[in-house]
Structure 1
Amino acid sequence: MGTSGWRYPPWRGVFYPRGLAQRRELEYLSRRMNSAEINGSFYSLQRPERYRAWFAETPEHFVFAVKGGRFITHMKRLAGVEVPLANFFASGVLALGAKLGPILWQLPPALAFDPERLAGFFALLPRTTSEAAKLAKKHDDKVKGAPLTETDADRPLRHALEVRHPSFRAAEYADLLRENGIASVVADSAGTWITLEEVTADFVYVRLHGDEELYASGYSEAALRGWARKIRTWQEGRRDAYVYFDNDIKVKAPDDAIALADLMAAG
Structure 2
Amino acid sequence: MSETPAIRVGIGGWTYEPWRGSFFPEKWPHKRELEYAAGQLTAIEVNGTYYGSQKPATFASWAKAVPDGFVFTLKASRYCTNRKVLAEAGESIARFVGQGIVELGDRLGPILWQFMATKQFDPDDFRAFLALLPAQQDGVALRHAVQVRHESFAVPEFVAMARAAGVALVYADSADYPAIADVTGDFVYARLENAVEAEATGYASAALDDWAETARAWAKGEQPDGLPYASTEAPAKRPRDTFVFFINGAKVRAPHGAMALIERLRT
Q: TM-score, normalised by structure 2?
A: 0.85
Q: CA–CA distance in 1 between the matches of 2:213 and 2:120?
A: 31
Code of the residue aligned with 1:261 in structure 2: it is: I
Q: Which has the higher contact order (CA 8 A, sep 6+)?
A: 2
Code of the residue aligned with 1:166 in structure 2: it is: E
Secondary structure in structure 2 of the residue aligned to 1:59: coil
Aligned to 1:147: none
Superposed, which structure 2 residues align to 1:252-267 within 5 Å?
A: 252-266=253-267
1:117: Cα distance to partner?
Answer: 1.3
Provide the identity percentage.
42
Q: CA–CA distance in 2 between the matches of 1:253 and 1:123?
A: 34
Q: Which runs of 4+ in 1 moved over 2 A?
A: 75-79, 247-250
Equivalent position to 1:206, from 190, 194, 205: 190
Q: CA–CA distance in 1 between the matches of 2:93 and 2:129?
A: 10
Aligned to 2:244: 243
Superposed, which structure 2 residues align to 1:197-236 within 5 Å?
A: 197-211=181-195, 218-236=202-220
Aligned to 1:34: 42
Equivalent residues of 1:210, 1:217 under 8 A apart: no
Equivalent position to 1:59, from 55, 67, 87: 67
Aligned to 1:103: 111
1:211: Cα distance to partner?
Answer: 3.9
Gaps of 5+ in 1: 134-153
Q: CA–CA distance in 1 between the matches of 2:249 and 2:29?
A: 20
Aligned to 1:194: 178
Which stretch shifts more, 71-80 or 225-234? 71-80
Equivalent residues of 1:32, 1:258 under 8 A apart: yes
1:4: Cα distance to partner?
Answer: 1.3
Change beyond 3 A, Cα 1:226–1:77: farther
1:20: Cα distance to partner?
Answer: 1.1
Change beyond 3 A, Cα 1:42–1:115: same
1:251: Cα distance to partner?
Answer: 1.2
Aligned to 2:15: 7
What is the total number of aligned residue pairs between the two structures?
240
Q: CA–CA distance in 1 between the matches of 2:262 and 2:64?
A: 24
Superposed, which structure 2 residues align to 1:119-158 within 5 Å?
A: 119-128=127-136, 132-133=137-138, 154-158=139-143
Gaps of 5+ in 2: 1-8, 222-238
Q: CA–CA distance in 2 between the matches of 1:212 and 1:56?
A: 33
1:186: Cα distance to partner?
Answer: 0.6
1:249: Cα distance to partner?
Answer: 4.5
Equivalent residues of 1:65, 1:104 under 8 A apart: yes
Equivalent residues of 2:201, 2:256 under 8 A apart: no
Equivalent residues of 1:217, 1:250 under 8 A apart: no
Aligned to 1:145: none
Aligned to 2:100: 92
1:79: Cα distance to partner?
Answer: 3.5
Q: CA–CA distance in 1 between the matches of 2:10 and 2:249?
A: 12
Alpha-carbon RMSD across the aligned residues, in angstroms, is 1.7
1:253: Cα distance to partner?
Answer: 0.5
Equivalent residues of 1:5, 1:36 under 8 A apart: yes
Change beyond 3 A, Cα 1:117–1:212: farther
Aligned to 1:137: none
